[in-house]
Amino acid sequence: MAPLWGSSWSLSGYSRVQGADTNGSDLKPSLGQILTSKRIRYTASALAVVGLFFLAFRNYDQFPTLSTMRGSSPAAISTNADCPPAVVPSFDGASVDWSRYAYTQYATNKEYLCNSVMIFETLHRLQAKAERVMMYPEKMMNPTETNPESYEAKLLVKARDHYGVKLAPVSVQRRAGGDATWAESFTKLLAFNQTQYLRVLHVDSDATILQPMDELFLMPPCPVAMPRAYWLFPDNKILSSQLMLVQPSEIEFDRVMKQVESSSRDDYDMEIVNQLYGDTAMILPHRPYDLLTGEFRGDNHQNYLGTDREEFDPVTIFNEAKYLHFSDWPVPKPWISTSEGVRQDKQPKCDRKNGQEDCTARELWNGFYSDFTQRRLRVCDTTSKTRR
């Protein structure tokens, strides 16, 4: 293309000024004529198109998608963008469509199936508003079964009919080799594939839910939100997969599954989510959403409290907590039998306060285990009918 201003540039495209002196010499075009000439318009249009293409390819990941322009769900948020800070909202439950959200559980054997049903029984009893979804091995039972025969099938039917649980048969995600305890923990990651919901909250079942956590579903948009493993902080800034707030999507599920395929034999669900989201996840406050039972046995509570200026008050901490995870190594999980000697040896110590012995932490800690045992006997009993 010839330059706009130069000796080779022709003025043949311009019209002459009407009524001017035309004594054989060309009149200079006015500014208005220049701006309205065809050649200038064509050149300007070409430059504008080139500029738009440049901007589009430079900022392609910032352009709105069809989903976002439709007023889409939080799941449409780009994984490349930084998630906003965690802000736990207050809400009017009556104005929320809770069918768009769900608590999820997975179980691969009858022990953990019982634990999961216990979680759902608690959510039902506490009148949590979001739906409940159980992911279980498809070979256990048809989700529409009405005459269950096996223990597992009876538990599933109990969860469905008495606690309002939606049954979702899945293929168990199993890793050959490695620790057998965690070999099937990849099944938890199927929460990323529950795309019928805008958001799901997956919690580990070796725990007790103390209060509903419906407010988490209304957190600012982010593909994944998790608390830090506060007991490892600040030396290791690792995400705790005990509680995961997920925006299911085909894209994220594909990313997760590809990460599973390329992981080493010593990588499990916690390693996978940290590899993918360690630097991008929204960080949920571990207080009150991820309290370990072992905290009541410890002497230094600075990591949980977040300060060295607050005194650890067992009753206050228990009353504010919403999710309590059983973690007391070498004390086994509460459904596994242990000797009375081990329990007494590892139980919290009593303190001296105001000249008197204070065993509050010990009483609470023992109460966690006895309550779990009693509820397990009641909830997982399939021989008698349970009242709705």
Specify the higher pLDDT residue, 126 or 179: 126
Q: Is the pLDDT of residue 159 over 90?
A: yes
SS3 336: coil
Q: What is the mean pLDDT of residues 303-331?
A: 96
| Higher per-residue pLDDT: 74 or 323 | 323
44: left (phi over 0), alpha (psi -120 to 50) or beta: alpha
The DSSP string of 308-354 is SSS---HHHHHHH-SEEE--BTTBPPTTS---HHHHHHHSPPPEEET
On whether the CB atoms of residues 185 and 268 are closer than 8 A, the answer is yes
More confident residue, 39 or 336: 336
Residue bearing the bigger pLDDT, 296 or 172:
296
Chain CA centroid to CA 216, Å: 9
In the prediction, which pLDDT does 126 show?
98
Instruction: Report the percent of the chain where pLDDT is more than 70.
Output: 74
Question: What is the Cβ-side half-sphere exposure of residue 83, based on CA atoms within 13 angstroms?
Answer: 25
Torsion of CA 231, 233, 239, 243, to 10 degrees: 30
CB 219 within 8 A of CB 247: no
Residue 215 pLDDT: 96
| pLDDT one-digit tens code per residue, 163-173 | 999 999 987 76
Across the range 73-81, mean pLDDT stands at 40
Residue with tokens 């504008």: 48
Which of 32-41, 107-116, 313-322 comes out lowest in average pLDDT? 32-41
Domains of the chain: 96-379 (3.90.550.10)
The pLDDT of residue 47 is: 59
- Amino acid 355: pLDDT: 87
User: What's the average model confidence in pLDDT over 213-238?
Assistant: 95
Which range, 50-59, 69-78, 367-376, is most confident? 367-376
Q: What does the pLDDT read at residue 187?
A: 80
Per-residue confidence band for 33, with pLDDT thresholds at 50, 70 and 90:
low
Q: What is the pTM of this model?
A: 0.76
pLDDT band at 145 (very low <50, low <70, confident <90, very high): very high
- Residue of higher predicted confidence among 44 and 191: 191
Instruction: Give which of 151, 143, 145 is closest to 113, Cα–Cα.
Output: 151
**Average confidence (pLDDT) over 201-221:** 96
Tokens of 173: 């995600």
Q: Which of 42-51, 58-67, 317-326, 368-377 has the lowest mean pLDDT?
A: 58-67
- Is residue 133 within 8 Å of residue 104, measured between CB atoms? yes
Half-sphere exposure for 113 (CA within 13 Å, toward CB): 24
**Residue 24 vs residues 15, 20, 21, 27, 34: alpha-carbon distances, Å:** 15, 11, 9, 9, 21
Cis peptide before 330 (omega within 30 of 0): yes
Please say if the pLDDT value at position 1 is more than 80.
no
